[in-house]
Amino acid sequence: MTDTVAVTLVGIFGITGSLLVLASAIAMFRVRDALSRINVFSPSTGLGLPLIVAAAYVYDFHADGFSWGSLLMAAVAVLCLIIVSSVGSNTLSRSSVLSGQPVYRKTAPNRLARPPRGVIDNDPEAPEGPAHRD
Protein backbone atom coordinates (compact mmCIF):
# COMPACT_ATOMS: atom_id res chain seq x y z
CA MET A 1 0.00 0.00 0.00
CA THR A 2 1.46 3.33 -1.01
CA ASP A 3 1.80 6.25 1.36
CA THR A 4 -0.77 8.32 -0.52
CA VAL A 5 -3.45 5.61 -0.42
CA ALA A 6 -2.83 4.88 3.27
CA VAL A 7 -2.91 8.54 4.30
CA THR A 8 -6.04 9.12 2.22
CA LEU A 9 -7.88 6.13 3.74
CA VAL A 10 -6.84 7.03 7.29
CA GLY A 11 -7.94 10.62 6.69
CA ILE A 12 -11.29 9.67 5.18
CA PHE A 13 -12.14 7.09 7.86
CA GLY A 14 -10.83 9.20 10.74
CA ILE A 15 -12.41 12.48 9.70
CA THR A 16 -15.75 10.90 8.76
CA GLY A 17 -15.91 9.02 12.07
CA SER A 18 -14.93 12.12 14.04
CA LEU A 19 -17.51 14.26 12.24
CA LEU A 20 -20.23 11.69 13.02
CA VAL A 21 -19.27 11.76 16.70
CA LEU A 22 -19.22 15.57 16.68
CA ALA A 23 -22.57 15.80 14.90
CA SER A 24 -24.12 13.40 17.41
CA ALA A 25 -22.71 15.40 20.32
CA ILE A 26 -24.09 18.66 18.92
CA ALA A 27 -27.46 17.05 18.19
CA MET A 28 -27.66 15.83 21.79
CA PHE A 29 -27.78 19.46 22.94
CA ARG A 30 -30.59 20.28 20.51
CA VAL A 31 -33.07 17.55 21.42
CA ARG A 32 -35.36 17.95 24.39
CA ASP A 33 -35.92 14.55 25.98
CA ALA A 34 -33.91 11.52 27.07
CA LEU A 35 -35.27 9.17 24.42
CA SER A 36 -34.27 11.51 21.63
CA ARG A 37 -30.79 11.93 23.11
CA ILE A 38 -30.30 8.18 23.22
CA ASN A 39 -31.56 7.91 19.65
CA VAL A 40 -29.25 10.68 18.42
CA PHE A 41 -26.16 9.12 20.00
CA SER A 42 -26.64 5.73 18.33
CA PRO A 43 -25.12 6.67 14.92
CA SER A 44 -22.01 7.84 16.71
CA THR A 45 -21.40 4.56 18.48
CA GLY A 46 -22.71 2.39 15.65
CA LEU A 47 -20.85 4.00 12.74
CA GLY A 48 -18.55 6.82 13.90
CA LEU A 49 -16.42 4.86 16.35
CA PRO A 50 -16.05 1.80 14.04
CA LEU A 51 -14.79 4.17 11.32
CA ILE A 52 -12.19 5.50 13.76
CA VAL A 53 -11.16 1.91 14.56
CA ALA A 54 -10.89 1.24 10.80
CA ALA A 55 -8.65 4.29 10.43
CA ALA A 56 -6.41 3.02 13.24
CA TYR A 57 -6.23 -0.42 11.60
CA VAL A 58 -5.31 1.03 8.18
CA TYR A 59 -2.59 3.13 9.85
CA ASP A 60 -1.25 0.09 11.71
CA PHE A 61 -1.39 -2.00 8.52
CA HIS A 62 0.58 0.63 6.62
CA ALA A 63 3.15 1.18 9.37
CA ASP A 64 3.81 -2.42 10.47
CA GLY A 65 2.42 -4.57 7.66
CA PHE A 66 -0.28 -7.22 7.89
CA SER A 67 -0.79 -8.84 11.28
CA TRP A 68 -3.48 -11.32 12.22
CA GLY A 69 -3.42 -9.93 15.76
CA SER A 70 -4.22 -6.36 14.76
CA LEU A 71 -6.88 -7.54 12.28
CA LEU A 72 -8.51 -9.65 15.00
CA MET A 73 -8.28 -6.79 17.48
CA ALA A 74 -9.93 -4.36 15.04
CA ALA A 75 -12.68 -6.84 14.15
CA VAL A 76 -13.42 -7.57 17.83
CA ALA A 77 -13.43 -3.84 18.63
CA VAL A 78 -15.94 -3.08 15.85
CA LEU A 79 -18.13 -6.03 16.84
CA CYS A 80 -18.07 -5.00 20.51
CA LEU A 81 -18.89 -1.38 19.64
CA ILE A 82 -21.93 -2.46 17.64
CA ILE A 83 -23.15 -4.90 20.31
CA VAL A 84 -22.60 -2.50 23.20
CA SER A 85 -24.26 0.31 21.24
CA SER A 86 -27.42 -1.64 20.56
CA VAL A 87 -27.71 -3.20 24.01
CA GLY A 88 -26.84 0.06 25.76
CA SER A 89 -29.32 2.11 23.74
CA ASN A 90 -32.08 -0.41 24.34
CA THR A 91 -31.38 -0.58 28.07
CA LEU A 92 -31.19 3.19 28.47
CA SER A 93 -34.40 3.69 26.50
CA ARG A 94 -36.30 1.12 28.53
CA SER A 95 -35.07 2.57 31.82
CA SER A 96 -35.98 6.07 30.66
CA VAL A 97 -39.54 5.02 29.79
CA LEU A 98 -40.01 2.89 32.91
CA SER A 99 -38.73 5.65 35.20
CA GLY A 100 -41.46 7.96 33.94
CA GLN A 101 -39.13 10.37 32.18
CA PRO A 102 -41.35 12.77 30.20
CA VAL A 103 -41.32 12.61 26.41
CA TYR A 104 -41.16 15.95 24.62
CA ARG A 105 -44.67 16.89 23.51
CA LYS A 106 -43.65 17.55 19.91
CA THR A 107 -42.10 14.12 19.48
CA ALA A 108 -44.12 12.53 16.71
CA PRO A 109 -45.28 9.89 16.51
CA ASN A 110 -45.37 9.39 20.25
CA ARG A 111 -46.32 5.73 20.32
CA LEU A 112 -45.17 5.42 23.92
CA ALA A 113 -48.08 7.57 25.10
CA ARG A 114 -50.67 4.96 24.16
CA PRO A 115 -50.70 1.17 23.81
CA PRO A 116 -50.29 -0.40 20.36
CA ARG A 117 -53.41 -1.00 18.29
CA GLY A 118 -55.21 -4.19 19.32
CA VAL A 119 -53.73 -4.27 22.83
CA ILE A 120 -56.03 -3.64 25.77
CA ASP A 121 -54.13 -1.76 28.45
CA ASN A 122 -56.23 -1.80 31.60
CA ASP A 123 -55.17 0.45 34.44
CA PRO A 124 -55.03 -1.76 37.56
CA GLU A 125 -55.73 1.23 39.83
CA ALA A 126 -58.81 2.43 37.91
CA PRO A 127 -62.22 1.62 39.40
CA GLU A 128 -64.19 -1.13 37.68
CA GLY A 129 -67.13 -0.24 35.49
CA PRO A 130 -68.08 0.63 31.92
CA ALA A 131 -67.70 4.39 32.49
CA HIS A 132 -63.96 4.06 32.92
CA ARG A 133 -63.16 1.91 29.87
CA ASP A 134 -61.26 3.29 26.88
Global pTM reads: 0.72
Instruction: Give the per-residue pLDDT at 126.
Output: 62
Residue 7: pLDDT above 80?
Answer: yes
For 93-128, the pLDDT digits (tens) are: 888 878 877 777 666 666 665 655 666 666 656 666
**Whole-number average pLDDT of the chain:** 82
HSE, CB side, 13 Å, CA atoms: give it for residue 85. 18
Instruction: Give the per-residue pLDDT at 45.
Output: 84
DSSP string, 65-109: ---HHHHHHHHHHHHHHHHHHHHHHHHHHHHHHHTTPPPPTT-SS
Q: What residue ranges do the domains of the chain occupy?
A: 1-99
Residue of 132 and 33 predicted with greater confidence: 33
